[in-house]
Amino acid sequence: MSGGATSTKIVVAGGFGVGKTTLVRSVSEIPPLTTEAVMTEASLGVDDTSAVPAKTSTTVAMDFGRISLAPDLVLYLFGTPGQGRFWFMWDDLVRGAVGAVVLVDTRRLADSFPALDYFEGSGLPFVVAVNQFDDAPVYSAEAVRDSLAVPDHIPVLLCDVRQRSSTVEVLTALVVHALAEEPAAAPEMV
Amino acid sequence: MPGTTSGSSSHSSNSSNSSGGSGSRTGAGAGPLQGGPVRGRRSDTVRPGQGRSSRVRPYAITRGRTRFGRVLLVETLVSALNRPADPADRSLPELTAICDVCRGQMRSIAEISALLRIPLGVVKVLVSDLADQGRIRVHGADSVDGAELDGGDEVPGASKRDLLERVLGGLRKL
């Protein structure tokens, strides 16, 4: 592979309807696109269908957007399927990611559990962003942290992903966190 | 048969708590937020074989290949090079279509998939073929997860930090 441009990505995870696509749309320079991945039911690993290979297939859709951060640097934002049963897809998706945003709706906290569990185990830096819905009760970031048992070093932010500035704030917090997690460059040998 | 999208089928064996050491959270639902379902429980279920017949058979157009020589991530950028098609591949209009959408501009694997409505895993295989034929250039998909790229060459921590710094700088200018 040779130079040219560099691309990287941030993964946005969370339950259905939590605002993943809204987040992507608020900062993307293109209208969010949808891509599909096709997998066989055998890939889902629920039943042993090895005796009946590729009996059926399932399509999973992901929305994504693009931000050109520099002429030679493109950041993609991927909204991932929220269900835990697609974890194996996330393995493929999160490779090379800067980190992940786990989007939370306080009315449906449990919807964020699969994503939280996944990213805690993945080693990928992530932040928890509480999307403030107009009709949802307001909780402090710390209350949400306690409820979700998010470790202290993981940032928890309140946000409104309809607002571009709020989304940028979340993404910025993630990258700052990722930098903090990244071990400092080894000192030069003298 | 492996899924086209996943090179890591070992993870597909699924478990409701694959993250391992997150034991402290279970039972944490009793916080100030009402409802309080216990994290770790999955409500979704999969019912294979329930009426969802296969819409496409992507393996047909990739001739059954799901392995590719290059690591192509969803965000990997490619652009078309001016080189005539291999006559042997005239039977695959998808190859030409891919070249067309990334002629004169860089497109990511995901964009190609979305624009041409071809599943991600299939795009990866076809782009890999095009790259092998010299019809497409794969741009340096500098990855934070450098170890996964280019057959395991470690990206030094410094360049990882460098990429993160550049992303941060770019975000702050938005």
| pLDDT 10s digits, B11-49 | 434 444 444 444 445 444 444 455 555 554 444 444 444
Residue B24 confidence (pLDDT)? 44
Name the residue among B173, B81, B60 with its Cα closest to residue B127: B81
Name the residue among B147, B151, B99, B152 with its Cα closest to residue B123: B99
Which two tokens mark B134?
A: 């010299």
Report domain A10-181's class: alpha beta
Which one of B26, B77, B144 makes the best mutation probe of the A interface by having the most chain A beta carbons within 10 Å?
B144
Q: Which of A76, A176, A185 is facing B168, going by the closest CB pair? A: A176
Residue B130 and residue B64 in one domain:
yes
Residue B10 confidence (pLDDT)? 40
Strand A156-159 with A57-70, pairing: unpaired
> Which residues does chain A have with pLDDT short of 50?
1-2, 41-55
Residue B61 confidence (pLDDT)? 57
Which one of A75, A78, A88, A101 makes the best mutation probe of the B interface by having the most chain B beta carbons within 10 Å?
A88
Q: Give the closest-approach CA distance of A41 to chain B in angstroms.
A: 6
Answer yes or no: is B44 within a domain.
no
Q: In this complex, do B12 and A44 lie within 8 Å of one another by their Cβ atoms?
A: yes
Answer yes or no: is B171 within a domain.
yes
Average per-residue pLDDT for chain A? 85
Q: In this complex, do A34 and B165 lie within 8 Å of one another by their Cβ atoms?
A: no
Q: Give the closest-approach CA distance of B11 to chain A in angstroms.
A: 5
Q: Decide if A115 contacts A98 (C-beta within 8 A).
A: no
Counting residues of chain A whose pLDDT is more than 90, the rounded percentage is 61
Answer yes or no: is B43 within a domain.
no
Domain boundaries defined on chain A: 10-181
Count of beta carbons in the 10 Å neighbourhood of residue A108: 17
Q: Which residue in chain A is spatially nearest to B156 when comparing CA positions?
A: A185
Q: Which of A91, A107, A186 is facing B8, going by the closest CB pair? A: A91
Query: From CA A34, how far away is CA A79, in angstroms rounded?
Result: 9
Estimate the crossing angle of helix B120-132 against helix B93-101, to 10 degrees.
90
Q: In this complex, do B111 and A33 lie within 8 Å of one another by their Cβ atoms?
A: yes
Q: pLDDT digits over B77-119, tens only?
A: 999 998 776 666 566 889 999 999 999 999 999 999 999 999 8
Answer yes or no: is B9 within a domain.
no
Geometric angle at alpha carbon B135, from A35 and B58, rounded to 5°: 35
Residue B122 and residue B65 in one domain:
yes
Question: What domain count does chain B have?
Answer: 2
Q: In this complex, do A8 and B143 lie within 8 Å of one another by their Cβ atoms?
A: yes
Residue B79 and residue B125 in one domain:
yes
Strand A6-14 with A73-79, pairing: parallel
Answer whether residue B7 shows pLDDT above 50. Answer: no
Answer yes or no: is B22 within a domain.
no
Residue A180 confidence (pLDDT)? 95
Q: pLDDT digits over B46-65, tens only?
A: 444 444 444 555 555 555 55
Query: From CA A146, how far away is CA A72, in angstroms rounded?
Result: 41
Q: Which of residues 41-60 of A touch B (CB under 8 A)?
A: 41-47, 49, 53-59
Residue B65 confidence (pLDDT)? 53
Q: Which of B11, B122, B142 is facing A91, going by the closest CB pair? A: B11
Query: From CA A78, how far away is CA B83, in angstroms rounded?
Result: 32
Residue B69 and residue B106 in one domain:
yes
Residue B149 and residue B92 in one domain:
no
Q: pLDDT digits over B108-161, tens only?
A: 999 999 999 998 889 999 999 899 888 999 987 444 444 344 433 345 566 889
Residue B164 and residue B130 in one domain:
no
Residue A42 confidence (pLDDT)? 45
Answer yes or no: is B166 within a domain.
yes
Q: Decide if B133 contacts B109 (C-beta within 8 A).
A: no
Q: Which residue in chain A is spatially nearest to B49 when comparing CA positions?
A: A56
- Domain boundaries, position B90: 58-138
Q: Decide if B125 contacts B65 (C-beta within 8 A).
A: yes
